[in-house]
Amino acid sequence: MSVPLAAYLAVSAVLFGIGVFGVLSQRGAVMVLMSAEVILNAAMLNTIAFWRYRAPNDFAGQIFALVILTIAAVEMAVGLAVMVMIYRRRKMQMVDKIAELRG
Amino acid sequence: MSPAVEWTLFLLLATGAIAGAYRMLRTMSMVRAGIFLMGSFCSIAGLFLLLSADLIAAMQIMMYVGGMLVMIVFMVMMSPDPGGSMMGIAPPEEEMDMQRGSKQHHDMQGDRMNQSHESADEKQYTCPMHPDVRSDSPGKCPRCGMKLQPTSGAEHGVMEMQGMDMAMTHEFTRPAAIIGFIAGAVLLAAVLSFDWPSAPGLANFDSGLIVGKELLSRYMIAFEAAAILIITGMVGAVILGRRE
Amino acid sequence: MNVLTNAAYALLLFAIGTFLTATLDTAIRERVWHPKRLVQNISQLVDALLRSDPGHKRIDRVLFFGAAPLAVAAVSVALLVVPVGNWGLAGPSLKVGVFFYLVVLDFLAVALLMAGWGANHKFGTEGAFAVVAQLVSYVVPLGFAVTGAVMAAQSLAATAAVQAQKGLWFGLWQPLGLAIYLVATFGQTFRPPADLPLSEDSNVLIEHHGAGEALLRIALYGIWFSAAAMGATLFLGGWRGPWLPGPLWFVVKTAALLALMSWAGKRYRRLTLKQMLRGAWLILIPASIVNVIIVGLILMVKR
Amino acid sequence: MDYRAAFPLAFGVFAIGALWLVLSARKAYPRSERAGGQRGTAWVQADVPYAVIALLFLAFDMEMIYMFPWAVAYLRVGMVAFWDMFVFAAILFVGLVYAWKRGAFEL
């Protein structure tokens, strides 16, 4: 392993910054969801990098990454479902125009 | 693996991951955005492989290829212009009416475009974030300081179509960029200021078997919680997404 | 050196597989066994490969031209994990080989979506929607069918599945799993009768000509071959067999599956979107969950 | 765990294919040989009929991912593993039946 841990963590930090920028700046609801996925992926990369460099014999790191993946998937499914509902009722999905979700 | 090969692969994959995520935010085409993000996630899976987490890498690709394809379908379904008018490749005039998307584009921007065709050097420039800011010369937007772009340019941020506001980003883009930059920079500084230990050696193992055993013994709670989470997601999707 | 050997192995398998699949498909669908006619299909592909594919003016260039290389790359990586014989190649002994294969299979769908959407044509877009519909329908049953073989082999490596089939083939005591695998394979590799994205009025290849179309068609043949080869490996004992050498057994079993699938493509009418979705979610997926439980019970009792 | 061959294979084949297409696209292609047909627009704002099924797919995809490590460890862990997955599969089955009753598969 000639690539140091800091290199992986740096990639993860940059991805996190991009994800935060995306969540805060995008208007399309799906784009906001996708940016949130980028943040979750940055976290996953951190988890796996720490697993490999700190405790490769304890698989807790991989299980944690798997849990993050599950949460990302469910978030994606429910988020998209909310958007389908809003879209079918109002025919638009720009987040800054949706003040309340009660419908 | 020799250090040179490892560094090359790492740099390629890291560039792919970061560039994919960034390009996703800067493109007008929804489908391209999805494909770029998929590329980013697959590069991260490649990094997982470099870190010898092969099972997680496969899971990551499986989940996100399927997930991103579904997301692309939803974006195409829900956004007013998912192709970014096919990346604004300005079609020749005589073929204009054959394509509906471009035709609307043409109707809305028709006057402006005709102008620019008549007098090519009188190009108009506009801010990607503030469509009402117009200028005859390139420069910076007086409100947000972003670089002005030509109105007929392909990949700028704002299009007006059917009277709808088509911007991909809202007016708080600049503060968002600052917050994102600060978040990334703080993390980066923290990462680089610490002296991390190097990696311990790794025995040859079957990660599928170990993860499976852990999921069925020590982390069974994660396994069952996942089942509950998944059924919650399913029920939510069915309730929210069904037709009236 | 090992890396180059593995890469060459996958590429060789790709070339041989495409040739075998294309000739067999022609022979069975058109009932011609004349050698000249058999190679005509391949020679047409090679001929098209030498012609250019400029596209038209309104395509999305990145997606349009990225599709074919992505498809070909996906197929060659997928073939890396298919074991042809007991030669000790590192590629076939990847620890999560079977899972790896299923993962790479998805990229063909991505490539076809890119091809269809990038063409900027109404039919192409409908084809892209059909591609996603097919992915949504068939990935899950395919994975569950493979799970049965993985449970019996106790490993995700394709070579382990071959080793575990020393006695009885998995396909013989998991007939349901084999059947589900084959049916789902049609959908995942876009073969008739599940070739809706390649039909007349929802065609992802609508604007592709020359080299681009040829590469995508080669990738489709290659992925079909790889799916049959994986089926033979997981359910029919792979390269294992008496008397004959391993690779020959592998080719015989793969060719048998290819012939069966080619015949089915000729026999049945093209499925509609509704038939595919309902069939997959109301029949295939429940059946595949039941299959996993049955296999689990059998293995528990046998132990 | 030798995945090294996958990287050069994927990058190399992709690069060669892309290069081939781009280089050959520079040569002229006789227009008459192209298939004709009316060109519509790529996009009509449509309601995708399988939207809910696509969301269900996300959940089942996740379930499948959990299935693989479970299947590997299954026989070595024993009866607990069987009941574990039985409950897991039963929950999913209930979800499937629920979705069906709610009309998710009425296309």
Q: Where exactly are the structural domains of chain D? A: 48-107
State residue C93's pLDDT score. 63
Question: Total domain count for chain C?
Answer: 1
Residue A78: inside a domain: yes
D83 and C CB contact within 8 Å: no
Question: Total domain count for chain B?
Answer: 3
Looking at chain A, which residue has its C-alpha nearest residue D55?
Answer: A77
Residue B107: inside a domain: no
B221 and D CB contact within 8 Å: no
- Kindly tell me the burial class for residue B114, based on how many C-beta atoms sit within 10 Å of its own C-beta (0-12, 13-18, 19 or more): exposed
Percent of chain D with pLDDT over 90: 7
pLDDT over threshold 90, residue C176: yes
Instruction: Mark yes or no for CB contact B197/A53 under 8 Å.
Output: yes
Any idea what the CATH number is for the domain that residue A45 is in? 1.10.287.3510
> From CA C169, how far away is CA C236, in angstroms rounded?
5
B93 or B166: whose pLDDT is higher?
Answer: B166
Residue-range definition of the domain harbouring residue C283: 2-302
The ipTM (two decimal places) reads 0.90
Residue B180: inside a domain: no
Per-residue pLDDT tens digits for A11-69? 999 999 999 999 998 878 888 889 999 999 999 999 999 999 988 888 889 999 999 99
Q: Across the interface, which of A3, A71, A96 has its CB nearest the CB of B7?
A: A3
| Mean pLDDT of all residues in C61-74 | 91
Shortest Cα–Cα distance, B214 to chain D (Å): 9
Shortest Cα–Cα distance, D18 to chain C (Å): 5
Beta-carbon neighbour count of residue C195 at 10 Å? 19
For residue A94 the two structure tokens come to 């720009």
Beta-carbon neighbour count of residue C34 at 10 Å? 9
pTM of the model: 0.85
Per-residue pLDDT tens digits for D15-61? 988 888 888 776 544 443 344 433 444 445 556 778 888 988 998 99
Average pLDDT score over chain C: 87
Looking at chain B, which residue has its C-alpha nearest residue C98?
Answer: B58
Residue-range definition of the domain harbouring residue A39: 5-97
> From CA A26, how far away is CA A42, in angstroms rounded?
19
Separation in Å, CA B175 to CA A35, A84, B128, B185: 16, 29, 15, 15
Looking at chain D, which residue has its C-alpha nearest residue B102?
Answer: D41
A85 and D CB contact within 8 Å: no
Residue-range definition of the domain harbouring residue B14: 1-88
> From CA C233, how far away is CA B198, in angstroms rounded?
41
Which of B1-5, B219-223, C64-68, C252-256 has the lowest average pLDDT? Answer: B1-5
Based on the fold, state whether residues B71 and B120 are members of the same structural domain: no
Which of B40-54, B128-142, C47-61, C247-261 has the lowest average pLDDT? Answer: B128-142
Per-residue pLDDT tens digits for C106-133? 999 999 999 998 888 888 888 899 999 9
> From CA D60, how far away is CA C245, in angstroms rounded?
41
State residue C1's pLDDT score. 54
C243 pLDDT tier (thresholds 50, 70, 90):
confident
Distance of CA C138 to the CA centre of its chain: 12
Per-residue pLDDT tens digits for C151-171? 999 989 888 888 888 888 998
State residue B10's pLDDT score. 94
Interfacial D residues in 17-46 facing C (CB < 8 Å): 17-18, 20-22, 24-29, 33-35, 37, 39-44
Do residues C68 and D21 touch, judged by C-beta distance below 8 A?
yes
Residue A26: inside a domain: yes
Average pLDDT score over chain B: 72
Instruction: Mark yes or no for CB contact C93/D2 under 8 Å.
Output: yes
State residue B90's pLDDT score. 38
Residue B73: inside a domain: yes
State residue A96's pLDDT score. 59
pLDDT over threshold 60, residue B164: no
Output phi, psi for B225, to 5 deg. -60, -35
